[in-house]
Amino acid sequence: MTAPAATQPGLTTTKAPYIEAAQARGELYIVQPYEQYSDANHDTWRRLYERMTPRWARYANQRFLDGITTLSLDPTRVPRLEDVNQFMRPRTGFRAKPVSGYVPAFRFFDCLRNREFPTTITIRDGDVLDYLPEPDIFHDIGGHVPMHTDAAFADTLVKFGECAHVAAEIVQGISDTQEQLRTLTSIQQAMARFFWFTIEFGLMRGPTPDECKVYGSGLLSSFGEVQHAVESPSVQRAPMQLEWVINQSFEIHRYQPLLFVIDDFEQLFDDVRRLEQWMKDGKLNNVAPGGPAIGEADLRSFLEAGH
């Protein structure tokens, strides 16, 4: 018998002393204290991975499946970020960067621009495999990171990060404070909606014209929703349309009733380029009201960018 309480305080979401201490010290970027994962944490990873594997085989985009192979994740143990990075960096230069919690929007996008992916290191409680409001390492490494081994997808994320810089420059040039906040809120909503409907919940057409597969990480880390997204007759699956996406509100804590389908990642990259141009043209300054709400910390992160 081991004495887990003394040697393994655990890195369970919302119950990790290591994370609380880092947050109290104001440290956002941290190291992954691998020895602190408890046996229960590893067991949670194993169960999540095991039940997800057949769903990935059935519903995931081929690029994602290739990414899973490339990363050589251990199905039975929480991944070590250093190991993940060793396999990923030679492909696209991306690396998973451990964080203690929420990364304000501008800083998050700026990391993407530098080919760094802010990565949660805690894992959900084993009693609630299905639902958790926060991201965890299964969402970030099991859902996002395999996509970052694909060159076209990785370039799209970098381009998205560049968009955030354009946004910061635009709003920092507005002298009227009220107008500045209003414009920034609108631009951020457009960016958040785009990110949500593509990177988190995107579908891709294929392999036949009538079929689609999943590339969005929110879906790829959800046992229930990945099937629902592809199979349910109640889901609207619309061809990707930038005009629609940037004006479309969404709710977080439910299965998504509306999803957008791209043809390939080249289309996605082109759409981010268009998003950037529309931003420069002022076309994102008045998007339709509605969700998501943009938080104070996110707004401030754009206003303080480069300062």
Specify the residue, 157 or 242, whose C-beta has the smaller distance to Fe ion.
157
Specify the residue, 61 or 217, whose C-beta has the smaller distance to Fe ion.
217
Task: State how far the Cα of 63 lies from the Cα of 205, in Å rounded to an integer.
Answer: 13
Q: In degrees rounded to 5, what are phi and psi of residue 175?
A: -85, -30
Task: State how far the Cα of 168 lies from the Cα of 177, in Å rounded to an integer.
Answer: 14
Q: Find the shortest distance in angstroms from Cβ 209 to Fe ion.
A: 29
Q: Find the shortest distance in angstroms from Cβ 293 to Fe ion.
A: 17
Specify the residue, 186 or 217, whose C-beta has the smaller distance to Fe ion.
217
Task: State how far the Cα of 98 lies from the Cα of 133, in Å rounded to an integer.
Answer: 19
Task: State how far the Cα of 101 lies from the Cα of 258, in Å rounded to an integer.
Answer: 28
Specify the residue, 216 or 278, whose C-beta has the smaller distance to Fe ion.
216
Q: Find the shortest distance in angstroms from Cβ 42 to Fe ion.
A: 22
Specify the residue, 170 or 219, whose C-beta has the smaller distance to Fe ion.
219
Q: Find the shortest distance in angstroms from Cβ 87 to Fe ion.
A: 20
- Other C-beta atoms lying within 10 Å of the C-beta of residue 196: 21
Task: Tell me the per-residue interface mask from 171 to 210 with Fe ion, x by CB under 5 A, - otherwise.
Answer: ----------------------------------------
Task: Tell me the per-residue interface mask from 105 to 124 with Fe ion, x by CB under 5 A, - otherwise.
Answer: --------------------
DSSP designation for 146: G
Task: State how far the Cα of 259 lies from the Cα of 238, in Å rounded to an integer.
Answer: 6
Q: What is the widest separation between alpha-carbon atoms in the chain? A: 65
* Contacts of the segment 230-236: beta carbons below 8 A, 24+ positions apart: 230/59, 230/203, 235/259
CB within 8 Å of 191: residues ≥ 6 apart: 105, 109, 160, 163, 164, 167, 275, 284
Q: Find the shortest distance in angstroms from Cβ 139 to Fe ion.
A: 6
User: How close are the terminal C-alpha atoms of the chain, in Å?
Assistant: 53
Specify the residue, 217 or 222, whose C-beta has the smaller distance to Fe ion.
217
Q: Find the shortest distance in angstroms from Cβ 35 to Fe ion.
A: 26
Element spanning 214, H or E: strand 212-214
The residue number with the shortest CB distance to Fe ion is 217
Specify the residue, 183 or 198, whose C-beta has the smaller distance to Fe ion.
198
Question: Residues 205 to 234: which contact Fe ion by CB under 5 A?
Answer: 217
How many binding residues for Fe ion (CB under 5 A)?
1
Question: Residues 18 to 77: which contact Fe ion by CB under 5 A?
Answer: none
Residues in touch with Fe ion (CB under 5 A): 217
